[in-house]
Amino acid sequence: MTEKEWVIEAEGLTRRFKKVTAVDGLDLRVARGEIFGLLGPDGAGKTTTIRMLCAIMDPDAGAARVAGFDTVRQPEEIKKRIGYMAQQFSLYGDLTVLENLVFFADIFGVGREERKERIAALLAFARLTEFQDRRAAHLSGGMQKKLALACTLIHRPEVIFLDEPTTGVDPVSRREFWDILTELHLEGVTLFVSTPYMDEAERCSRIALMFEGQVIVCDSPEHIRGLVEGKLLELRPDRLRDASHLLQALPQVLEVQVYGDLLHVFVRDVDAGRAAVETALGQAGIRVEALRLTRPRMEQAFISLIRRRQK
């Protein structure tokens, strides 16, 4: 076994804004070639973390190394080796797709000979070849994200940071964007992606769940699902709120979560739990449709882990 090569290493990384500790003693390591997901709700500290790792913002405490360089002492070395797609990235709306790529090639000093081939490849890669003469402002949201990604890749970075690249994009474009990220991953690029969407976390090799500036857990998606205590029953009762209150109070039930018209009930033991649930609801005259055992999904794992922490 060869030693893992850590491309991103953070220790005790901390950043405060007045009273808010946006990032609070973050420890993190990402190996070369991973797709690493930073998952958390708004305000969790994802953007602040990424800015510090990209050497755009200094930490108040702690340190980080990216591609082997210290973010505070060697920011220029890092900037040459990484790509950063900000949450509010800016393309030039008046420039065409092609002109935007040329512009970024200039900024990153990509030579004349190299750039023609590279731009053609990136256009194909981002599925934008036939739109190369369209102004960026006239592209759909999903296409703008792909163009921003292509611009981020113009200098062939070894690590790319993407801050919520699919937020606000329709589901089909989101999937396509992730297909493109997967292709990059297969080429060996290290990807560090933040997202508020739990389903996207499933496409990462490892994820860190971030909440209030801290990493609650960092592991593979599978392991995180496995951390959720108990077994999960899913049911659709006709009186959702009554059923939820009632079940919460049962000793066999660990936790109840509401999803639309569904209840997700974590029980310690499937048979005893199911029996207790059926009896309690039956006695209260609550009718149940579709009671079944199911596998916890990412959002259930996440909510459950945060709740347990707050207890």
Number of H helices, E strands in the chain: 11, 14
Distance CA 83, CA 78 (A): 9
- Which one of 28-36, 38-46, 125-133, 263-271 is the stretch in contact with ligand ADP (CB under 6 A)? 38-46
Token pair 């936790």 is found at: 255
**Contact status: 47 vs ligand ADP (CB under 6 A):** yes
Judged by CB under 6 A, does residue 46 bind ligand ADP? Answer: yes
45 binds ligand ADP (CB under 6 A): yes
Does the protein bind ligand ADP through residue 43 (CB under 6 A)? yes
Q: 40, 59, 221, 296: which one contacts ligand ADP (CB under 6 A)?
A: 40
57 binds ligand ADP, rule: CB under 6 A = no
Q: Is 282 in the site for ligand ADP (CB under 6 A)?
A: no
Angle in degrees, CA 214, 90, 184, rounded to 5: 65
Give CA–CA dist 202/25, Å, rounded: 25
Q: Which of 28, 37, 40, 47 binds Mg ion (CB under 5 A)?
A: 47
| Residue list 76-95, contact with Mg ion (CB under 5 A) | 87
Binding flag, residue 96, Mg ion (CB under 5 A)? no
Q: How far apart, in whole angstroms, are the C-alpha atoms of residue 67 and residue 44?
A: 25
User: How far apart are the C-alpha atoms of 135 and 196, rounded to whole Å?
Assistant: 29
Where does 196-252 show beta strands of DSSP type E? 206-211, 214-219, 231-237
- Asked if 190 touches Mg ion (CB under 5 A), the answer is no
Binding site for Mg ion (CB under 5 A): 46-47, 87
Binding site for ligand ADP (CB under 6 A): 17, 20, 22, 40, 42-48
